[in-house]
Structure formats: structure tokens, C-alpha cells
Structure 1
Amino acid sequence: MNGDPAGDASAHPESHDLVARIRACRLCAERFAATATAHVPRPVVWFRPGARILIAGQAPGARVHASGRPFTDPSGDRLRDWLGVDEATFYDLDRVAVVPMAFCFPGYDARKADLPPPSICGRTWHGKVMAALGDMPLTVLVGGHAHRYHLGARGPVTQTVAAWRDHAPRVFALPHPSWRNTAWLRKNPWFEADLLPVLRARVQEVLNG
């Protein structure tokens, strides 16, 4: 398993160039400098053509900004549990691609709440990334921002997730696995009872070819 998202440049030269361009992106430098965190851009890029599963997330958090790897936080632990995969599988670039709606940590506002993913990131990069990845057997949409971009969803997250059968087995819409959604999970027991077993079975089916 190669830990570099670009992998072998000779195998995917266009993808290697795209990864390098995203890593070098500084479009939001002034925006981030003006946040409460006053941080510099650090795009977290984790995809490679040939992956079987696309995790379409929201944006890196502070811990991911520090680690440079996606979902290296409690949200990632919960997401891997939802998918039924271990860390080695999740971080295998030949199997799983992680493409958030913004590649950089957006920072916090004055109340230390997460800022939304800057839309300029999606406008600049997502069409190119999706073209590089091609047709994915399974796409997992994590959170409302991903629902809106990939499904055109306009209703609340609960409504979109509750309609999961409309898009399965190729696409599954999930809530964000943040601890903030623990109460949501208690109020919606059908998510763990009905959706997750189907999702886990589909993950294994796709990973096993």
C-alpha cells in the first residue's frame, strides 16, 4: 500500500499533477488568516484513480489539519464503524478515496464553531477530481454539504438520509459522524438498524470485487 495519494506518477501522470496542484492551492490564504484560528492552508488530499469507494465529506477539522490525513479523529472512528472497515482498509488509497467539499480546514469563528467549507474549493477542484476518479461503484456522502453537491439535495439532512433507498446501492447519504450528532442517532434508530447493515454489506461487496 502506497501512502502517497499521487502514487506512481508514471501510472497516473494527470492525477499526480492534479494532486500536486491541489496541495499547492492557496486560494483561501487570506480567508483563513482572518478566522479565529488564523491558520495557513494545508490541503488534505487523499484520492487516487482506481479506488473503489468514494467518501465525500465536508472539510477537515483541526486534528486532520494537524495530521494531514483525513478522519484522524473521533468522527473518523465512528465513520469506520459505520462502514465496517478497519484503519488499514480505510487508508488504502487503492480502495478508498476521501474527497471533502473543501480540502482545507476552514477554521473556527469567534465562538469557536466550525466555519463552512469555502465554496470556491468545490468550484475550483471538484469537477477535476471527479473526472480523474471516474465512475465509482460506491459513493458515501457524509453530511449536508456533500448531499447538496452530489445529490442536489435541498431538504434537511434527516430527509435526505431517510430516503437512502432511493440511491442505494451505489450511493449512500449519511449524517456527519461527529459527536454532535449522537442525539440525532438516538432519535433516528432506523439509521443503525436498517441503513447501516445494508451499507456494510455493500462496502464488503465492493471491496471484494
Structure 2
Amino acid sequence: MKSYSSLLREVGACKICNEHLPLGPRPVLQFNPMAKILIAGQAPGKKVHESGIPFDDASGKRLREWLGVSREVFYDPQQIAILPMGFCFPGSGKSGDLPPRPECELTWRKLLLERLHKLEITLVLGQYAQAYHFGNANSSVTELVSSWRQYWPKVVPLPHPSPRNNRWLKNNPWFETALLPKLRERVSEVLA
């Protein structure tokens, strides 16, 4: 088995879907096999592609608030791994970013996930990551997130923290009153 650092170098040099990416390949992820928390998201947005730092945008600010962690803790790969379904910005569509490209999931994700031996909790953000991690292709994000207790405390389905989901958050106040306090408590326990 390759060392994780060797595998990360290969991921960083990946050009498998180069012709499909409007801004070219720039894999953005955070990984260390010692991580206790996995954030499984969709794919980096344009701003994250430009900075090369996962969740370096409004979504990341909201996500850190949801978790109750500082930037320093969030960006410590020995604490938190960030493996989106697609590692590169897929481009923009009519109503937001395009779906993640499938190549990362098929080529890299399983190899990286197999190395997370200290993992205590997986946070699954948005429909594409939820379809992969839960296999509930017919469930809506709302149905899956509202059934969070069913998967607790190892896996937590979450809506994407994007500002595009402000309406969803307003329409589902239980998310902030019931789920988020428990999530912050669990994250604090895991990182202690």
C-alpha cells in the first residue's frame, strides 16, 4: 500500500478530467490518516479553486459556525479531513455550480477513505455526497437531514452550508434548534 503522502502527491498532480474543467485541474482537499472528523462535501467552488483552500468562502464560515470550531482547528488535517466528491471546480451552471465530476470518486476517494483509521464522525454535506454515503438516491436532502438521529453519532447528514441554502434554513428551523447544538457537542467531544 502506498504511503498517504505519496497518494496525496498523485492526487495533487491528477489531470484525469482536465478537458472537462473550465479552469483546469486544481484538486482541493485536506487529508491526514489521523483525522477524527471527515467532512464529505460536493466540490470546490470557484473561490476555493482560486485559493486552493477547502471551504475558504462563505460556506466555510457557516460550516465552522455550525461545528463550533475555529479556523485553526478546522484547517488542522490531523483533526479534520475534507474529501469532497469532486476535488476540482466543475464549472458553473444555470442555478449554481455543476455537479462534481465522477472521476475523483472513482479514482481517489476510496483509496483515501480506507486510510482514515481514527475517524469518529463523518459529516455529509449536500445531495451528491449524501447519495454516495447513504445510497438514498430517492431521498431529498430535507428527508435525510431530518432523519439524522437514525445515523447518529457516527454519520451526520447536513445541508450544504452555502448561502444559496438560506431559504432551506429558514424553512427548517429545527435544524438550528435540534441538530446543531448536538453536532457542536459531538464535535467538541471528538476533538477533546
The two structures have a TM-score, normalised by structure 1, of 0.88
Is 1:116 aligned with 2:138? Answer: no
Is 1:79 aligned with 2:68? Answer: no
Is 1:180 aligned with 2:164? Answer: yes
- SS of the residue corresponding to residue 26 of structure 2 reads coil
What runs of 5+ residues in structure 1 fail to find an aligned partner? 1-11, 33-37
- CA distances 1:27-72 after superposition (whole Å, capped 9, x unpaired): 111111xxxxx31100013101101110111100011101111000
Residue pairs, 1:1-209, within 5 angstroms: 14-32=3-21, 38-109=22-93, 111=94, 113-134=96-117, 136-154=119-137, 155-208=139-192
Query: 1-side partners of 2:30 and 2:151: how far apart?
Result: 25
Q: Which stretch of the first structure deviates more once superposed, 40-49 or 112-121?
A: 112-121
- CA distances 1:78-123 after superposition (whole Å, capped 9, x unpaired): 00000010100000111011000001011123x4731100112101
RMSD of equivalent CA atoms: 1.4
Change (3 A) 1:177 1:129: same
Letter in 2 for 1:180: R
What runs of 5+ residues in structure 2 fail to find an aligned partner? none
Letter in 1 for 2:119: M
Query: 2-side partners of 1:115 and 1:58: how far apart?
Result: 10
- SS of the residue corresponding to residue 3 of structure 2 reads helix
In the alignment, is the contact (CA less than 8 A) between 1:49 and 1:133 conserved in 2?
A: yes
Please say which structure displays the higher CA radius of gyration.
1
In the alignment, is the contact (CA less than 8 A) between 1:141 and 1:171 conserved in 2?
A: yes
Query: 1-side partners of 2:118 and 2:190: how far apart?
Result: 13
Letter in 2 for 1:39: L
Shift of 1:151: 1.2
Letter in 2 for 1:162: S
* 4+ aligned runs moved over 4 Å, structure 1: none
Letter in 2 for 1:145: Y
* % identity of equivalent residues: 49
The two structures have a TM-score, normalised by structure 2, of 0.96
